[in-house]
Amino acid sequence: MSRILTAVLTLFCSPVAHALVPPDYQEPPSDFTAEIEAGFQLNTGNTESSSFNGRTKLVYDTDATRQEGTIKAYFAADDEKTTSEKYDLQLQSSYKFYSGYVFGRGDFTWDKFGSYTQVSTISGGYGFDAISNSSTKLSLEVGPGYRYNLPIATDTIPNPEANKDVILRTAAKFEQKLQEYTSLNADLTSEVGEDNNTLTLDMSYKNTLFQDWAFKIGVNIKYTQVVPEGSKQTDTITTFNLLYTFQ
C-alpha cells in the first residue's frame, strides 16, 4: 500500500512542479550589481612601466536611488624599484525624480609618483539621461565642487603646500552596446577651477567570453593644466583585464 501511495504522489507532484517552475524560468534581476577585474597595464607619462592593476565596482540601483562605489589599484615596478603606485576611490549617491537626478559625489586619489600625490574632490549637482534605450545611454551631469591637490615634492620645493580650489564639474557618461556580447563605455569629466583645470577621459571596450566572464580593454587619459616643475601634464593608463560580473 505504501508503495502504491508513493507512486501516486510522485506522478501527481511531477507535473505540478513543472507547472509551478517552467523549464525556462529565470531569477528576476537584482538591484545589486558588482564587477571585479584584474590584469595587465601599460603606463606612459610621469611613469614608464608595466605591471598589475585591479578594479572593483559596486552598484545598488533602485527606482528611487542609485548608490555606486568604485575602487581602483595600480602597481608597477621594474628590476630596481617600484615605479607606480596609485589608488582611486569614487563614490556617488543619486536621488532620482521624473526629469533626472540630483547627486553627491566624492573622488579620492593617492598617487605616489603622480604630479599630485593626493587629489580629493567633493561635488554635487544635477544629472539627466539625454539618451536611454536598450542599446545606447548618455548621461550628462553638472554641478559645483571643492578640490584639494597636494603636489609631489621636488628638489626646489621639498615641502609643497596643498592647493584648494572651488570648481565646476561637468561629466558625460556614454554606454553603447555594439553587439550582443560587446559594449563600449566612455566617461568624459571636466573640472574647471580658478587655479587649475583638468580633463579626464575613461574609455573601455568589453567583450563577453562566456556567461559572466569578459575581456576588457581600458584607457584612462588625464590632462592637468598646471603641474609641478618636472612633471608632465598628461598621464595615460592602458589596461588589459579579465572581468567578472555578478548580480
Please give the residue that has the higher pLDDT: either 229 or 178.
178
Average pLDDT of span 197-213: 94
**Residue 226, pLDDT above cutoff 50:** yes
Statement: residue 217 has pLDDT above 80: yes
Listed in sequence order, the residues at least 6 apart from 15 whose beta carbon sits closer than 8 Å to its beta carbon are none
User: Mean of the pLDDT values across residues 40-61?
Assistant: 82
For the chain, the average pLDDT equals 87
Please give the pLDDT value at position 133.
Answer: 93
**pLDDT band at 88; cut points 50, 70, 90:** very high
Under the banding of pLDDT at 50, 70 and 90, the label for residue 11 is: very low
What is the pLDDT confidence band of residue 20, given thresholds at 50, 70 and 90?
very low
Domain parsing of the chain, residue ranges: 28-246
Q: What is the pLDDT of residue 63?
A: 92
In this prediction, residue 126 has a pLDDT band, given cuts at 50, 70 and 90, of very high
pLDDT (mean) for 187-197: 97
State the pLDDT at residue 77.
82
Comparing 236 with 17, the larger pLDDT belongs to 236
pLDDT at 41 over 70: no
Q: What is the pLDDT, as a whole number, of residue 80?
A: 74
In this prediction, residue 156 has a pLDDT band, given cuts at 50, 70 and 90, of: confident
Q: What is the C-alpha to C-alpha distance for residues 243 and 212, in angstroms, rounded to an integer?
A: 8
More confident residue, 134 or 90: 90
Please determine, for residue 166, whether its predicted confidence score (pLDDT) is greater than 70.
Answer: yes
Confidence of residue 22 (pLDDT cuts 50, 70, 90): low
Domain 28-246 class, CATH top level: mainly beta
> With 50 as the cut, is the pLDDT of residue 68 above it?
yes
pLDDT of residue 15: 47
Cell 593608463 sits on residue? 237
Longest dimension (CA), the chain: 97
DSSP letters, 44-60, are: ESS--EEEEEEEEEEEE
d(CA 196, CA 165) in angstroms, rounded, equals: 8
Q: Which of 90, 169, 91, 171 is nearest to 129 (CA)?
A: 171
